[in-house]
Amino acid sequence: MKNYFYAIIALFILNSCKINPYRLSDRSYKKQIKAYQKSIGNADTKPLENGQTPKWISTVNFNLRKPNFVVIHHTAQDSLQQTLRTFTLSKTQVSAHYVISDDGTVVQMLNDYLRAWHGGNASWGKNTDINSASIGIELDNNGFEPFSEAQINSLVALLTRLKKDYNIPTNNIIAHSDIAPSRKADPSAFFPWKNLAALGFGFWPEDQLEKAPDYFNVEQALRIIGYNTQNLSSAIKAFKLHYIQTEVDDTLDEKTINTIYSIYKKQ
Ligand SMILES: [Zn+2]
């Protein structure tokens, strides 16, 4: 009986000592949160250029700023573990709010109100700090395979909650390739944008496309949708990766022009 008791105690101790591979990043996360709490809570002001230092008088009416975009990525890695490792090492300087594995498991890596490093140098419309305004979702996918049903179901559940909690406009649920067309091509053409649009996440062109008028300006329309058109060919390609997934190139044929017109009209 006594031995049995000791065995139970030993098992308990062993279990509580089980090494959590992410204990260092957990600790660092908590430490950073504490530092931010302190700096946000400080009632101090900075001197202006003219030498005046603003006086502090606290208001009572405020809350937290909310994300207004969701950016979807594929990880281009081979497993969830590999991605989690990448996002918990400080030398990589990349992260996302959520990672969804192939089997549908959702991992959250930082609070929605905090700024993850997933967009890089990116813009959508006049917004040039997408990381500050967005939630980043990474889908565990190597870029050359279809997205699993379980993964997309979890993504839909997550998008449903985010869209409701933060009142995110449907046109602000976008791809990494949309916000960084000359650098990125994720998520791949396998990504089911059409199905998502049918559920209220993003736009999709009509089956019967209306012919764009002769005066229709493609570059201007892409810019109004949100694309950075400095490199027009990249913007066209990114648009096609999202809306004409069977022809991902920079060819401006009639179908492409009419599809751009269709999405432009929805703005
Ligand atoms: Zn990406």
Distance 72 CA to ligand 1 centre (A): 7
d(CA 194, CA 174): 13
Positions marked active-site: 138
Distance 217 CA to ligand 1 centre (A): 29
How does the average pLDDT of the chain come out, rounded?
94
- The enclosing H or E element of 73 equals strand 69-74
Q: Is residue 168 domain-shared with residue 245, that is, in the same domain? A: no
Confidence of residue 68 (pLDDT cuts 50, 70, 90): very high
Vertex 192 angle, CA 80 and 76, to 5°: 30
Q: Is residue 248 domain-shared with residue 179, that is, in the same domain? A: no
Q: Tell me, what's the pLDDT at 187?
A: 98
- The enclosing H or E element of 72 equals strand 69-74
% of the chain beyond a pLDDT of 90: 90
% of the chain beyond a pLDDT of 70: 93
Confidence of residue 15 (pLDDT cuts 50, 70, 90): low
CA neighbours within 13 Å on the CB side: how many for 102?
A: 14
Q: Tell me, what's the pLDDT at 2?
A: 64
Name which of 245, 102, 113 is nearest 175 in CA terms: 245
Q: Where a domain ends, among 198, 232, 254?
A: 198
Q: Is residue 159 domain-shared with residue 243, that is, in the same domain? A: no
**Long-range residue pairs from 204-210, CB within 8 A, at least 24 positions apart, any chain:** 204/243, 205/243, 205/258, 205/259, 205/262, 205/263, 206/262, 209/255, 209/258, 209/259, 209/261, 209/262, 210/258, 210/261, 210/262, 210/265
* Domain membership of residue 241 as a residue range: 218-265
105 within domain boundaries: yes
Q: Is residue 92 domain-shared with residue 190, that is, in the same domain? A: yes
Q: Is residue 76 domain-shared with residue 192, that is, in the same domain? A: yes
What number is the average pLDDT over the span 26-32? 96
Distance 253 CA to ligand 1 centre (A): 28
Give 202-258 pLDDT, tens digit per residue: 999 999 999 999 999 999 999 999 999 999 999 999 999 999 999 999 999 999 999
What number is the average pLDDT over the span 26-34? 96
Give 93-142 pLDDT, tens digit per residue: 999 999 999 999 999 999 999 999 999 999 999 999 999 999 999 999 99
Q: Is residue 193 domain-shared with residue 222, that is, in the same domain? A: no
Q: Tell me, what's the pLDDT at 43?
A: 86
Distance 119 CA to ligand 1 centre (A): 7
Is the pLDDT at 1 greater than 60? The verdict is no
Q: Tell me, what's the pLDDT at 44?
A: 87
Q: Tell me, what's the pLDDT at 243?
A: 98
Q: Is residue 123 domain-shared with residue 225, that is, in the same domain? A: no
Distance 64 CA to ligand 1 centre (A): 26
What number is the average pLDDT over the span 67-82? 96
Q: Tell me, what's the pLDDT at 89?
A: 96
Retrieve residue 260's tokens: 């751009």
Retrieve residue 79's tokens: 């497993």
Q: Is residue 234 domain-shared with residue 192, that is, in the same domain? A: no
Q: Is residue 98 domain-shared with residue 177, that is, in the same domain? A: yes
Q: Tell me, what's the pLDDT at 95?
A: 97
Is the pLDDT at 10 greater than 70? The verdict is no
End-to-end CA distance of the chain: 74
Distance 93 CA to ligand 1 centre (A): 13
Is the pLDDT at 16 greater than 60? The verdict is no
Vertex 267 angle, CA 163 and 231, to 5°: 100
* Contact between 143 and 186 (Cβ < 8 Å): yes
* Contact between 264 and 221 (Cβ < 8 Å): yes
CATH of the domain at 160: 3.40.80.10
* Contact between 220 and 267 (Cβ < 8 Å): no
Side-by-side strand order, sheet with 69-74: 106-108, 98-100, 134-139, 69-74, 173-175
Is the pLDDT at 5 greater than 90? The verdict is no
Total domain count for the chain?
A: 2
Find all residues with CB under 8 Å of 167, minimum gap 6, and list them. Answer: 66
Q: Is residue 149 domain-shared with residue 255, that is, in the same domain? A: no
Is the pLDDT at 12 greater than 80? The verdict is no
Q: Tell me, what's the pLDDT at 93?
A: 97
